[in-house]
Structure formats: structure tokens, C-alpha cells
Structure 1
Amino acid sequence: MRYTKSPQPFYIRNSAHIIIGAGLLFFGAVIFIYGSQYLFLKEANKTNGRVTGFIVPKGKSLKRPVIEFYTPDQQRHTYYHSEGTNPPQYGQGQEVTIYYNPTNPEEASLGYSFIPMIILSIFGLVFTGVGIAMRK
């Protein structure tokens, strides 16, 4: 009687390719985020705003700046930044450049948000590197 190995399941045979694919998906997410921010900033109006305070969302510990800015028609708008830092990146009363959608000034941004792109790039490098190492 001969002993034969049973075939390995698909996910084991192709685990290196699956991990490389996951890494490439992370890089794709970085490209998507950068592209969407680029398109927004390309069409956005630029103005100066002032940091009027900070909020700390429930269950969070990082202060997020609250920025007040005016459109050319002297309408006041408030922007709540989505990223917090410790210590705060901006000071109370500090003037900052803000970009807003001219048709909907409630859509605003402080420019490119590199934190998520850096995090996703690191994951992409790790997954792709591990997948390539597994192939060898």
C-alpha cells in the first residue's frame, strides 16, 4: 500500500498570493484616498479659518480642532476636524488654511490627510513583503 499526500486546500496552496493581494488592496486604498482628496482640493475654494476650540469625542482622548471660517458672502461656517493629536496640532486662536466645497461649504478640509495613507501604506508593505517572502 502506497501512502499518498492528500491535496492541500486552495487557501493553503495560494496563501502567499492571497497575502500579496491583501497588500495590494491596501495600496489601492491609499491611491483611492489620495485621489479623492486630490479631486476635492482641486475644486475647493481656499480661505483662512481660526481655531475656536477643541472637542474630544466620547470614548476618545485626542483633541480635535473646531475651526470657524467665512465664505466670500460673509457666511460663517464651523468645521469639526476628524483627526485629533496629542499634543494638539493647532493652538486656540491659530489661523489655518481651510479648503471648502464652493457649492456646499459644510464640506471642508484642512488639506491632505496623510495619517490614514501612512497607516494603510505600512499595512500594504508588511502584507506584500510577507507574501513575497512566503513565495520563496
Structure 2
Amino acid sequence: MKRSSVSLVFNIFLGVGIVMLIITLAILFSVKKFNDSAVKTSGTVIDLIAKGGSKSTTYSPVVTYNDKAGVKHRYVSNVSSSPAGYNIGDQVEIYYNPNDPDDAKIAGWREYFGALITGLFALVFGLIGLGYHIVRKLGHSRKERLKQTGQLVPASFVAVDVNNIVSVNHRHPFFIRCEWKDPLTGITHPFKSGFIWSDPSPYIDRDKKIDVYVDRNNFKKYYVDISSFER
């Protein structure tokens, strides 16, 4: 998997998040528009309709209310819950369309339930997609800073490993382990490269040194140059 393919996956996440955000805003606008023009009245919960699911049973309230002309109407909520959100006999506030009194809904947070669901999807997908680009941008800035101000050391190849924790599109990334022995202190410093999304083993000359840029004051801050191994 090329880096461009990985970016595409996260761009799709970001795109889905943006679409969900647009849908959320559209739902909120629709609710507000309806509420601004609706007539408000009180209604009574007269029944609870059970809706059986594969795992549980949910309940939708049935509400009766009178319009301005005194005509009684019956409304069945399209939002159901378990346990039931209302009891029979409860008084609820009803919004109805003055041009079509049968077009109604119960006032309250439940009218925003659809926006809550799409908003949650927007948040999750958006954070995943945006988070990838933020981390990549920060990593790029850190890499360039180390290349400009860090100490270049020639590290010896140790091994190619696979990160089995991270997975994108059912693929696990590879990374290169290498090390450098400081001739002044005799201390061997281990390094790990960033992720490589295709096996770099065929492109590695085991006898060739790998460029590593390290912070002179903190050898835990480093960048392993793997540009020649990425395909």
C-alpha cells in the first residue's frame, strides 16, 4: 500500500465526516424552520406502540392534541426508545404545522435525535480523517527541523518489523530498526523508522548505512530517513 493510498483512506473518512456534518446542519436548520412557523399546543400521551427489534423492544408514544379549531389529531412519534421515554397520561408540548395540523412532533431534545446521530458520525469520522493529516503535518515539521538542526549519524540496519497494532484497510505497516554506536561514549542508540506501507526488505542494502538525524541534546528525538525505501 502506497502512502497515497493510505492518505486516500483517511481522506474518505474526512469526506464522510464533512458529509455527515452537512446533513447534521441541514437537520438542525429544518427543525428550526419548522419550529419557527409551528403552532405550539399541549398533548396527552394515550398509548405506547411497541416495536420489536432483534435485541430489544422499543416504544413510540402516541399523542392526541387539538388544533386551534378544536379538532383532535393523533400523532405517533417516529422516535422510539427502551425504556419508554413517556408514560401514558403524560402531558407533552406539541408543535404542529398550521397549514397541515396532522404534521406534528413532540417538542424537546428528541426532535434533535437525528442530528445527534449524524453529528456523532461527523465527529468520529472527521476526527479520524483530520487527525491523520494533523499528525502527518506535525511529523513533517519535526522531520524538517531535525534535518536542518540535528546531527546526522550513520546507523546500521538491524531488521524490518511489522506493527501489528496499527491497521489501515486490513494492512499493517512495516518499519525499519537500526542502531548507531556513539564512538565517544560507546553507547549504542536504537532507532525506529516511521511507517512504510509496503515491505522495504527488497530495497535495503544491509551493508549500507541509514541516515538518522538526531537531536544533539536528546537522542530520543530523531528522524530515520527512509525516503529511499518507500514505494
Matched residue SS, 1:90: coil
Correspondence 1:51 to 2:49? no
TM-fit CA distance, 1:91:
1.2
Alignment correspondent of 1:14: 8
For structure 2, the 5+ residue unaligned runs are 137-231
The structure showing larger relative contact order (alpha-carbon pairs under 8 Å, at least 6 residues apart) is 1
CA distance in 1, matches of 2:119, 2:52: 28
Correspondence 1:119 to 2:141? no
Give 1:1-136 correspondences, 5 Å limit. Answer: 12-57=6-51, 59=53, 61-111=57-107, 113-135=111-133, 136=136
Count the aligned residue pairs. 130
Letter in 2 for 1:133: G
TM-score, normalised with respect to structure 1: 0.85
CA separation of 1:91 and 1:13: change in aligned 2, threshold 3 A: closer
TM-fit CA distance, 1:79:
0.3
TM-fit CA distance, 1:11:
5.6
Higher strand share: 2
For structure 1, the 5+ residue unaligned runs are 1-6
TM-score, normalised with respect to structure 2: 0.52
CA distance in 2, matches of 1:130, 1:103: 44
Deviations 1:78-134 (A, max 9, x none): 000111122211111111100000110110011252222222122111111111232
Higher helix share: 1
Q: Please tell me the root mean square deviation across aligned C-alpha atoms, in Å.
A: 2.1
CA distance in 2, matches of 1:36, 1:73: 26
Instruction: State, as a whole percentage, how many aligned pairs show the same letter.
Output: 26
Query: Which region of structure 1 is more displaced relative to structure 2, 55-64 or 76-85?
Result: 55-64
Q: Which has the larger radius of gyration?
A: 2
Query: Which region of structure 1 is more displaced relative to structure 2, 121-130 or 40-49?
Result: 121-130
Matched residue SS, 2:14: helix
